[in-house]
Amino acid sequence: MKTALLALAAAMALSACAHVQPAPAGDDPVRAGQASVAGVSSMDSRRDIVLAVANPLVPPATHAGSSVLGYVSPGNYGIGQRAASTLAALKKTYGWRELAGWPVKALELYCIVLTPPPGMPRDALLKSLAADARVRLVEPLQDYAVYADPPSRDAPRYNDPYAGLQRGFVETDAALAHNLSQGAGVEVAIVDTGVDLAHPDLHGRIRDTRNLVDANRTAFDRDNHGTEVAGIIAADANNRQGIVGIAPEALLSVYKACWYPPASRAGARCNTFTLAKALAAIIDTDTRIINLSLGGPADPLLDELLVRLLEQDRIVIAAMPPDGNVGGFPDSAPGVIVVRTGNASRAPPGVLSAPGNDILTTQPNGGYDFTSGSSMAAAHVSGIAALLLSMAPGLDARSVHDLLLQSSRVSDGTLQVNAASAVARLRSEEKSAP
């Protein structure tokens, strides 16, 4: 049941987040964006109507994938010319007032909420629209209520509108963990692609950037994978924007060592040269946590640099390869915390499980979308590690790993890391220490 509800919420969020193309001249301006809070509050289920027209999918432009694990972002889906023309013609015929409009990609529809014109009863308009061949669906606007018990524990309430749709944030009880820590004073190094530095949910969260691939700032800002990882770890909280990071007060240093090959859908790629430059640069800093949501074959140079970082008491968090084989870089190095996407199967010994499927996070151009993969699972663990280090800066990698493993909880049938349990366990250990 929980999975079904999350899937439904995901579909709704994708529709709400979709880019909507400008409306034709003379049409209601609300179709150029999403309904405002004031617009929603003005809707009346005793009066208003939901109407849908065909909105055929437009094939997305070919572009590179958004992760070294092969994830490819979907194209934007807004109102197409056919739907816009149909709605304009229908409005001219029936004279309604449009309150809001949104695309439903899964059904290839564009929906609006409308108010009947003055003097026309709703039932009469519903009957006329139901007989109109241009209309795919028409129904009264309905009201619904949630069926939820009051929370047994108090968690911070965020004004970030998509916080409730963040599967990983919810499943790890990150909001409860924020009563004890939000990652203040901790820096996380992300070795990845570039990141959208102008994203409103990452504003103030990025301390430093290094482009170890090229000097292309435009490409840096439009890279998907690094932007996704950054948002999971440290998206800003209570800024009335999008989502909340697992550690919303942590700072990020971004090392671009991966890039998207032209005309390729295989995802971002890195090499020994760029990764070695990134790891060498981190050695010269005091950053404790290093997120490596990437992987490949064993490499003597990279292994040597990684050993040096581990000797410096860094906490290196790596994504488990899709095939589950941990025999390459960086997952095979002793001391590296390896993370897989949580599922019903038993994790290999010592490997942590974290949410990695249908994760809502930041996207380039100030957007948000869902993504999946062990890259995202690793980012959740990096965020929780930042919460722990903020409370106890002297923790080493082994202590962090063991604490996360021992405090893992079953969520939706899967044993996964739990932020609230981890920080509570750490607080209890600190209080009991002599």
DSSP secondary structure string for all residues of 8-54: HHHHHHHHHHS--PPPPTTS-GGGGSPPPHHHHHT--TTT-EEEEEE
Tokens of 221: 């800002």
* Residues of the chain scoring pLDDT < 70: 1-43, 58-77, 106, 142-155, 263-266, 433-434
pLDDT of residue 4: 43
CA atoms within 13 A on the CB side of 384: 42
Instruction: Report if residue 154 sits inside a domain.
Output: no
Asked whether residue 47 falls in the same domain as residue 195, the answer is no
421 counts as catalytic: no
Asked whether residue 114 falls in the same domain as residue 169, the answer is no
Q: Which of 86, 108, 140 is the last residue of a domain?
A: 140
Asked whether residue 76 falls in the same domain as residue 207, the answer is no
Annotated catalytic residue, options 15, 73, 375, 411 = 375
Q: Which domain holds residue 380?
A: 163-432
The Cα 142–Cα 357 span in angstroms is: 31
Cβ distance 246 to 232 under 8 Å? yes
CATH number at residue 264: 3.40.50.200
223 counts as catalytic: no
Asked whether residue 295 falls in the same domain as residue 389, the answer is yes
Asked whether residue 376 falls in the same domain as residue 313, the answer is yes
375 counts as catalytic: yes
Annotated catalytic residue, options 178, 181, 196, 225 = 225
Asked whether residue 105 falls in the same domain as residue 198, the answer is no
Total domain count for the chain? Answer: 2
Asked whether residue 282 falls in the same domain as residue 422, the answer is yes
Annotated catalytic residue, options 28, 160, 192, 236 = 192
Q: What is the mean pLDDT of the chain?
A: 82
Q: Which residue has the tokens 């800024």?
A: 239
Cβ distance 192 to 172 under 8 Å? no
pLDDT of residue 66: 36
Cβ distance 408 to 416 under 8 Å? yes
Instruction: Report if residue 7 sits inside a domain.
Output: yes
